[in-house]
Structure 1
Amino acid sequence: MATTTIQVSREVRDHLATLAKERGLSLGQLVEALAADQPTAAQRAERLAADREVVRRLIGLELSDEDFDQAPDVLANIHKIAASKAAHPVQDTAA
């Protein structure tokens, strides 16, 4: 495998080296793992298209991409509700 050099500040290099050591990796392995965890815009678009095709097959409807784009963000709404409940838990008044 061919390798290359990436220039970063000493602070960044030292931070990456610490992270690598904590994870039992070489610096190169850490950078590879970090890069693998960050999909490109093209990869994200490909995943979105594949996910939408699965939804279309499962519900049996021909939904356009515009239909998906205009649909409510159910997961975001669930997160908002959960965050609200965590910030304001229901008090047990039965005691």
Structure 2
Amino acid sequence: MATTTIQVSREVRDHLATLAKERGLSLGQLIEALAAEQPTAAQRAERLAADRDAARRLIGVELSDEEFDDAPDVLGNIYKIAAEKARTAKGTVA
């Protein structure tokens, strides 16, 4: 496998070296792992398309991409409700 050099500040290099050491990895292995965790825009779009296709098959209804885009953010709304309940409970318990 061919390698390359990436220029970063000393602070960044030292931080990455510490992270690598803590995880038992070489600096190159750490960078590869970090890069693998971050999908590209094309990979995110591909995943979104696959997820929408799976949802269409699961619910048995053909929805357009526009209908998916216009649909309410159910999970986001659940998070908002849970956060509000947590804030309210924290205020009454204290």
1:41 alignment partner in structure 2:
41
Deviations along 1:17-71, one digit per CA (max 9) or x if unpaired, are 0111111111000000000000000000000000000000001111000000000
Residues 10-29 of structure 1 mapped to structure 2, 5 A cutoff: 10-29=10-29
Deviation of 1:89 after TM superposition, in Å, equals: 1.3
Task: Provide the secondary structure at the position in 1 that maps to 2:89.
Answer: coil
Cα distance in 2, alignment partners of residues 29 and 86 from structure 1: 40
* 2:14 match: secondary structure: helix
Supply the distance in 2 between the matched residues of 1:67 and 1:44 (Cα, whole angstroms).
19
Alpha-carbon distance between aligned partners in 1 of 2:40 and 2:7, rounded to the nearest angstrom: 21
Provide the TM-score with structure 1 as the length reference: 0.92
Letter in 1 for 2:49: A
Could you tell me which residue of structure 1 aligns to residue 8 of structure 2?
8
What's the C-alpha RMSD, in Å, of the aligned pairs? 1.3
Bigger mean CA offset, 16-25 vs 36-45: 16-25
* Letter of the 1:77 counterpart: N
Gaps spanning 5+ residues in structure 1: where? none
Instruction: Give 4+ residue runs of structure 1 displaced > 6 Å after superposition.
Output: none
* 2: CA distance, partners of 1:20 / 1:86: 36
Name the count of aligned residue pairs.
92
